[in-house]
A and B are shown apart, each in its own frame.
Chain A
Amino acid sequence: VSRTLAPPERRTVEVVGCERLGAYSLLWAIDRDGPSDPQPGQFYMLSAARGWGGGAAERPYLPRAFSFARALEEGDGIRLGFLLEVVGPGTERLAALEPDDGLAVVGPLGVGFRPAREGRRPLLVGGGIGTAPLLCLADELDHPSVLLGFRSAAHATAAALFPTEVQLATDDGSAGRPGLVTELLAAELDSGPHAEVFACGPPGMLEAVRALCAEREVPAQLAMESGMACGFGACFGCVVPTTDGYVRLCVDGPVLDAAGLETARAPGGGHQG
């Protein structure tokens, strides 16, 4: 199981910057007290160290879960990168952090991607902000095939972060091919055998990926999302239905094997940003 253990407490790491990246932001922080080897697909619970909580003038209350997009060795720690899209009060606060601000983190948490099965070539499929955990996965693989889909060119700037060439699709055709990333996936699966899919993206996309892979009997690992309060199994809030009943995405996921899902369109997927 691809799980690096986390220290059993919230710690504060130092923000080194927050880059604008088209419609997204890339938040960088130096983690000196956590493990140096988080596994791609694992996540951190993030909150601003100041002004975030249940006290006077603090907002929001609970931390937010983010897969890390990059983990680079740096000095006595690691430089962690988180890809953000401002969609609510939490992401708004995180994207406004400045160098030397504190970022409170718990993590790395959950189970990341497992290595591809013997004899299978990894095929990375990302949609929108779900590109994040595929980036650190691509960093660790030798020339993986990467298929990404975005709403528009402003979002597709995240594709430039990848170390290898990327096949790109956008909803409005403003970058790459017009259409859906699942169309790229269907073509790729039909053109070459022995793939294993590693996917992350919005629920509709993940469900389409799951169905495509199921039809073609291609194994797939899906990094899913659900609103979380804690991230370490305490609140039982982030469950998704599987063939084994509800599982907590924070401790049994967020990467789940597609074979154990009847649908990847999780009803628990809603969050408040």
Chain B
Amino acid sequence: MSVDLCGVSLAGRVLNGSGTFDAIAARRAFGDALLERFPFDAFVSKTITFEPREGNPPPRLWEAPAGLINSIGLPNKGLEGFLAHDLPQLAELPVPLVVSVMAYSPGKLAELAGRVAERDEVALVELNVSCPNVESGLVMGAEPSETARAVEAVRAQCEKPVIVKLTPNATEPAAVAAAAEGSGADAVSLLNTLKGMALDPATRLPWLGGGSGGLSGPAVRAVALEQVAAVSSRVDIPVVGMGGIASGADAADFLAAGAQVVAVGTESFRDPAAGLRIRSELSPLKGQGTPETGEGAGPAASAAAKSSAWTT
């Protein structure tokens, strides 16, 4: 079975969320066995910026109930470092490459997306308009008009398909998705982390070096599912659904809610092969209310069709 995502053929429906898997570091830990059993059907890079970034001061992590709050701050080598050192290694992966980019203005974002998209190794570009960890002033993905401005600028300079990564920290993510579609986005992905905070139990001061962070993991799954359903019913472009997916059944929920493909994030921290497991758990679930293509499916359940899951 192959799946089409914006004209790119994938062997299955499971991607990684940006910033949740470093294929280069993982290859140092696991060797070429990682390539033989690569856990995803497309690989999404960590977000890159024009200039190198060191990231936020540690501590960067706090475990929440069924979740993780992170304040990483987009450490990366910058565009030139990425092109020189990372891209050749990512090109060796056995799956299509999606490169995530972020910049501080629509013009710079367009320029960065264009520089990345001109490389043959890159199949798709994902716009990070939603990272809540960086003090960037206005968040481009927080309002439809801001998102539209960014996507329009990128569209003019980027010939590869463009995915807009939506933030849940917006008043109405579906309206932002509609604005992205209207401005020429080829797909949307959601959700990014929800803003979160943890205090040091000893001092009651912020635990994370960055002050606050982003929550991920099963703790956000219900929020993600609702937003994927709302966005899917609002746009006709493909939706990449993610947020706390930890099993094939979770993935099937996101597909039933209208996602075309899903992404695994925090679950990969618990098991580097989580993507493979979720894909294998998902395949026998096809046909149990899971649409073959997610397009336009929307939330399928009606009151009459409810199962007895609550009582089990």
Contacts and interface: CB of A to CB of B under 8 A. Distances in A.
Interface in A204-262: 226-240, 245-246, 248, 250-251
A251 B29 contact: yes
A54 B61 contact: no
A61 B25 contact: no
Contact of A235 (B20, B54, B209, B218): B20
B29 A233 contact: yes
B246 A237 contact: no
B70 A109 contact: no
Contacts of A251: 25, 28-29
Given A55-B218, A61-B63, A251-B25, A232 B30 contact: yes
Given A47-B270, A233-B28, A54 B218 contact: yes
Contact of B272 (A5, A9, A226, A270): A9
Contacts of B254: none
A233 B22 contact: yes
A162 to B, nearest CB: 29
A240 B54 CA distance: 11
B58 A240 contact: yes
A53 B246 contact: yes
Nearest to A268: B58
B166 to A, nearest CB: 22
Contacts of B33: 5, 7-8
A122 interface: no
B29 A232 contact: yes
A62 B31 contact: no
A136 to B, nearest CB: 19
Interface string B25-66: 110111101100101000000100000001101111111111
Given A236-B60, A268-B59, A10 B66 contact: no
A contact residues, range: 35 or more
B153 to A, nearest CB: 29
B207 A8 contact: no
B272 A239 contact: no
Interface string B266-285: 11111111001000000000
Nearest to A233: B25
A232 B20 CA distance: 11
A17 interface: no
A272 B62 contact: yes
B209 A270 contact: no
A86 interface: no
Given A9-B271, A235-B61, A267-B209, A54 B67 contact: yes
Given A54-B267, A62-B269, A239-B58, 4 more contacts: A7-B33, A58-B66, A104-B271, A270-B200
Across chains A and B, which 8 residue pairs bring their CB atoms closest together, nearest first?
A233-B25, A268-B58, A54-B218, A9-B273, A8-B30, A10-B271, A237-B61, A230-B269
